[in-house]
Amino acid sequence: MKRQTEKTLAYVIAAALFAIGVVCYAAFPETKPDEPVRIVFKSTAGKVLFDHKQHTGEDGYGIHCIDCHHAWDEDPDVKPVSCTECHEVDSEDPIKRSEALHQQCIGCHEDDGTAPTDCSQCHIL
């Protein structure tokens, strides 16, 4: 009989802890970061995983937002738009997204000297 009581008590405690966990998870959801951590660019050459935090963070490359989001007026109340807002995938005007990214990314990678410049180093997914 004692074993049955211990088993029941264990189930009650487990259920209570589960309920507390669900309530806490719902009550305190994780806040979305101000800037994306990682972005996946889809392309025919393979997906590119862009680590936004590494590129913009002070402990990373420290690139300023305006260096990539060149059409943004740096208004703190307005978030910069994604590349595809202006550079559409299949557009010719102003310039399609793949060409804009290649000019921006590869140019910076070549200037830096430490970043990858070979296609397969970025188009990995």
CATH number of the domain at 55, please: 3.90.10.10
Residues of the chain with pLDDT under 70: 1, 91-93, 125
Range of the domain at 45: 38-122
Same domain, 53 and 95: yes
Domain count, the chain: 2
Q: What is the value of pTM for the model shown?
A: 0.59
Instruction: Output the six-digit token pair for 101.
Output: 């990214």
CA distance 28 to 71: 36
Same domain, 12 and 72: no
Same domain, 13 and 43: no
CA distance 109 to 93: 25
pLDDT for the residue numbered 90: 72
pLDDT for the residue numbered 121: 86
pLDDT for the residue numbered 15: 96
Same domain, 51 and 105: yes
Sequence-separated (6 or more) residues with CB below 8 Å from residue 8: none
Same domain, 25 and 77: no
Same domain, 49 and 67: yes
